[in-house]
A = this chain, B = another copy of it.
């Protein structure tokens, strides 16, 4: 039977990971693309892009407009570059209300100001009704690399520490609840710009080895990608992983594992253990009070393992499937 693309191929799961490596990389091969970082290093600059198909297009505390700016801005920031310019492509369905479009452009404008980037080029397409689900937005971004920083997964070594800027799974849980309206909560998306925390952090700790924001596929998928690429094990401590009580409860009711659920305003930082505590202090002093050192790189285990509260261990699989499409 002819093989088909499934939702999992776009979910940040192992299916996505393999599709990218089996189809895209061999055909489009070049050394920059092969790094597969959130932002591509092109000389003094970083270049990044992201498509946003989130459903619903508005959700507690944010909407597709803000998400499409912050998403690309954050990808540039975790790549140790100062975001400068964005391109903006919008594909909208015929019959979309002009005032709803204006609201989204207002959100984009607000998010761009907050993130200190300029939208300098764009495209606007309209397609027939039912040929697109309301509105899709694609942003690309250019950032200026912070010279003294030079992150790369290749630098990651045994005993390096893993730091998380704040609580996990807020964005994905908020989207799921907004989509299904199962019960009322006050859970909000954490969708926000990481510029004002990450750029000063890079300036102060340019020796940070690697950063990524745990969006599609959540914390578990990012850690698994790192583990696969470095052929090193990762151990994290459940007691250290920040998660808000209501998010945890909602995930339990929804039957989903928060480790796989997207954040849109957090970063995972990997650094040598000698500076991990200083980084943590810096984050907490800068308003990221729930930041934690959540684990470390290890040669004694394979894959990603969580040391649970009860003292046991569970494996955080690089799952092939996730039931949650269109989180971003």
A238 at the interface (CB under 8 A from B): no
A30 on the interface (CB 8 Å rule)?
Answer: yes
Q: Which one of B33, B42, B85, B325 contacts A127 once the chains associate, using CB atoms below 8 Å? A: B325
Q: Which residue on B lies nearest to A117, using beta carbons?
A: B30
The answer to the question of A122 belonging to the interface, with a C-beta cut-off of 8 Å to chain B, is: yes
Interface residue A118 (Cβ < 8 Å from any Cβ of B)? yes
Q: Chain B contacts of A102 at CB under 8 A?
A: 23, 27
Q: Kindly state whether residue A126 has any CB partner on chain B within 8 Å.
A: yes
Contact B126 A28 (CB under 8 A): no
> In the bound complex, do residue A94 and residue B125 qualify as a contact, i.e. CB atoms below 8 Å apart?
no
Does residue A5 face the partner (Cβ distance < 8 Å to B)? yes
Residues of B within 8 A of A101 (CB): 5, 23
Bound CA–CA A51/B87 (angstroms): 11
- A131 in complex: contacting residue of B39, B42, B96, B132, CB < 8 Å: B132
Binds B, one of A104-112, A197-205, A300-308: A104-112
Quick one: CB contact mask for A20-46 with B, threshold 8 Å, 1 for yes? 100110011010110000011010010
Determine if B124 and A30 form an interchain contact, defined as CB atoms under 8 angstroms apart: no
| Complex interface: chain B residues within 8 A of A132 (CB) | 53, 131-133, 136
Using known A-B contacts A85-B42, A87-B47, determine if residue A92 contacts B27 with beta carbons closer than 8 Å: no
Please name all residues of chain B whose beta carbon is closer than 8 Å to the beta carbon of A184 when the two chains form the complex.
none
**Per-residue CB proximity of A50-92 to B under 8 Å, as 1/0?**
1101010000000000000000000000000000110111111
Q: List B contacts of A130 (CB < 8 A).
A: 130
Q: Which of B47, B87, B325 is within 8 Å of A121, CB to CB?
A: B47
Copies in the complex: 2
**Chain B residues with Cβ under 8 A from A124's Cβ?**
9-10, 16, 19-20, 24, 51
**Pick from B9, B27, B33: contact of A120, CB under 8 Å:** B33
- Interface set of A (CB-CB < 8 Å, partner B): 2-11, 16, 19-20, 23-24, 27-28, 30, 32-33, 39-40, 42, 45, 47-51, 53, 55, 84-85, 87-99, 101-102, 105-106, 108-109, 112, 118-128, 130-133, 136, 138, 140, 142, 325-326
Provide 22 A-B residue pairs closer than 8 Å at the C-beta atoms, listed in order of the A residue.
Answer: A3-B97, A7-B94, A10-B124, A24-B105, A27-B102, A28-B88, A28-B108, A33-B119, A39-B121, A40-B85, A47-B87, A47-B142, A49-B87, A49-B140, A50-B89, A51-B89, A51-B138, A53-B91, A53-B131, A53-B132, A128-B133, A132-B133
